[in-house]
A and B are shown apart, each in its own frame.
Chain A
Amino acid sequence: MSGEQVGLLVDGALFTLWLTLGGAAIGLVLAFLAGLARVSSSKVLRAIGFVYVEFFRGAAVLVLAFWFVYAMPMLGWQFEPVFAGMVALGLNIGAYAAEIVRGAIQSVPVNQYEAALAMNFSSWQRMRRVVLPQALVAMIPPFSNNIIELLKASAVVSVVSIPELAFNGQLIWSGNGQAAAVFGGLLVMYGALALIFTIIMRLLERRAARSVGRQPDPGWWTRLRRRSEVPA
């Protein structure tokens, strides 16, 4: 493999990271907006949240990306392809994550709401000071699944010619024709990226668990150390 090809791969991997992080940021904002809308007391907000979640869970990333890139320019405005890809990813993952936000908020025990009410907290304070800090901890593990899904979905937008990892891989393959090496290598690179994300999310998860005074499960390192300490 020539230096130029290695450069393409590195650029592609960085682009994939950029798409994933950008998509995650858009998705996170949408998820909180829609998730909070779905537990709101206003019927209109609940309906809006419901429609958003149902529609974008049904629409595949590729469908959205295709539509943004090929169909929308005919309506007179145009996204930059990279931004279109990011928005497509964010809209889709946001709809899944909104359900997680909703579930996590609803999983906070009712007594907590009641206690906050009894202490005369405003509804914003109730959410910000009591409910969300506890709900956030419950959200992180399912979010880490979502971010892996997002990483995988980011390969899909290569179909609309965004120069990320899968797209650059195809470029290299059309240059040298070594399908097994190129596509096998791509899979390994995606696997490595997924591993990195998993590790980061696992660390976040443990931090969050500690922040609400929960003892996280011992990791493999602690387990290994303990096993050598405790005689069987």
Chain B
Amino acid sequence: MNWDWDYVGSMMPDLLDGLWTALLATIFGFLLALVLGLVFAILRRSKTAWIRVPIGFIVEFIRGTPLLVQLFFLFFVLPDFGVQLSPLASGIVGLGVHYATYTSEVYRAGIDGVPAGQWEAATALNLPARRTWTSVVLPQAVPRSLPALSNYLIALFKDVPQLVAITVAEPFTVARGIFADSFRPFEAITMAGVLYLVTAFVLSYLGRIVERRYGTVRV
């Protein structure tokens, strides 16, 4: 078994394209998770049990079941209902919804951390619910949640290889295509794995910087 650098060089452009797709899935999936997670967190605090309980159940269910099966569900079931998503779009929705259930817990902790006095003050000032959330609670809760949220960006990136199962052209899908032609899986799989590892380390380093800089609440 010898390592063939020429072969590695010839497949790098394709693998890097794959990495770009993986990063796109990460970024858009994470944005969806950030927004949807906040929605879940707020709905789970609703005064109406008819909203609170079903949303709670859905969130717990999504969090307790594998992302991979959820991706299958999105990719193979939605077309039966006339919704045809591209593989990448299904991947982004799957990752986003799955991670929204995690980020909603982070937001919940952040919201719980807002002192009761702030809620009471908002009531005393007769602020409507919407104003209480947008001007009082969230500006304090969201910065508190940032450090933990950055961890989930990295976790989400590490789940991107699972998109291989729904044929998104990420590095492993690309690698599989390459070694199907060349019958040399060793370099292809190793390089795809190395790309993921290196990117994950870079992301976690960046995450640490973000955490150090913005992790504290300025009042």
Determine whether the beta carbon of A66 is less than 8 Å from that of B68. no
CA distance A176 to B147 in the complex (A): 46
Q: Please encode chain B, from 57 to 87, with 1 for each CB lying within 8 Å of some chain A CB and 0 for all others.
A: 0000100111111101100110110000000
A126 to chain B, nearest CB (A): 33
Q: Is B162 part of the binding interface, using a Cβ–Cβ cutoff of 8 Å?
A: yes
Q: Is A155 part of the binding interface, using a Cβ–Cβ cutoff of 8 Å?
A: yes
From A60, A76, A151, give the contact of B159 (CB < 8 A): A60
Q: Is A86 part of the binding interface, using a Cβ–Cβ cutoff of 8 Å?
A: no
- Known contacts A74-B186, A173-B76, A183-B77; decide if A66 and B67 are in contact (CB<8 Å): no
Determine whether the beta carbon of A166 is less than 8 Å from that of B73. no
Q: Is A171 part of the binding interface, using a Cβ–Cβ cutoff of 8 Å?
A: no
Determine whether the beta carbon of A58 is less than 8 Å from that of B66. no
Which residues of chain A are near B184, meaning CB under 8 Å? 74
CA distance A53 to B196 in the complex (A): 17
Q: Is A158 part of the binding interface, using a Cβ–Cβ cutoff of 8 Å?
A: yes
Determine whether the beta carbon of B200 is less than 8 Å from that of A190. no
B184 to chain A, nearest CB (A): 8
Which residues of chain A are near B76, meaning CB under 8 Å? 173, 179, 183
Which residues of chain B are near A67, meaning CB under 8 Å? 189-190, 193
CA distance A170 to B77 in the complex (A): 12
Determine whether the beta carbon of B72 is less than 8 Å from that of A66. no
CA distance A62 to B66 in the complex (A): 13
Which residues of chain B are near A156, meaning CB under 8 Å? 66, 68, 162
- Known contacts A62-B161, A159-B165, A183-B73; decide if A152 and B67 are in contact (CB<8 Å): yes
Determine whether the beta carbon of B162 is less than 8 Å from that of A187. no
Q: Is A29 part of the binding interface, using a Cβ–Cβ cutoff of 8 Å?
A: no
Q: Is B172 part of the binding interface, using a Cβ–Cβ cutoff of 8 Å?
A: yes
Determine whether the beta carbon of A186 is less than 8 Å from that of B69. yes
Q: Is A70 part of the binding interface, using a Cβ–Cβ cutoff of 8 Å?
A: yes
Q: Please encode chain B, from 24 to 45, with 1 for each CB lying within 8 Å of some chain A CB and 0 for all others.
A: 0000000000000000000000
- Known contacts A152-B65, A152-B66, A194-B65; decide if A71 and B190 are in contact (CB<8 Å): yes
Q: Is B132 part of the binding interface, using a Cβ–Cβ cutoff of 8 Å?
A: no
User: Among residues 169 to 214 in chain B, which have CB atoms less than 8 Å away from a CB atom of chain A?
Assistant: 172, 179, 184-186, 189-190, 192-193, 196-197, 200-201, 204
Which residues of chain B are near A191, meaning CB under 8 Å? 61, 64-65
Q: Is B52 part of the binding interface, using a Cβ–Cβ cutoff of 8 Å?
A: no
Q: Is A180 part of the binding interface, using a Cβ–Cβ cutoff of 8 Å?
A: yes
Taking CB as reference atom, which chain B residue is nearest A74? B186
User: Among residues 51 to 105 in chain A, which have CB atoms less than 8 Å away from a CB atom of chain B?
Assistant: 55, 58-60, 62-63, 66-67, 70-71, 74-76
By Cβ-Cβ distance, the 8 closest A-B pairs, closest first, are: A155-B66, A74-B186, A194-B64, A179-B76, A152-B66, A71-B189, A60-B158, A183-B73
Q: Which of A's residues lie within 8 Å of B, judged by CB?
A: 55, 58-60, 62-63, 66-67, 70-71, 74-76, 148, 151-156, 158-159, 166, 169-170, 173, 179-180, 183-184, 186-187, 190-191, 194-195
* 5 pairs of residues in contact across A and B, judged by CB atoms under 8 Å: A66-B192, A70-B185, A148-B64, A155-B68, A158-B68
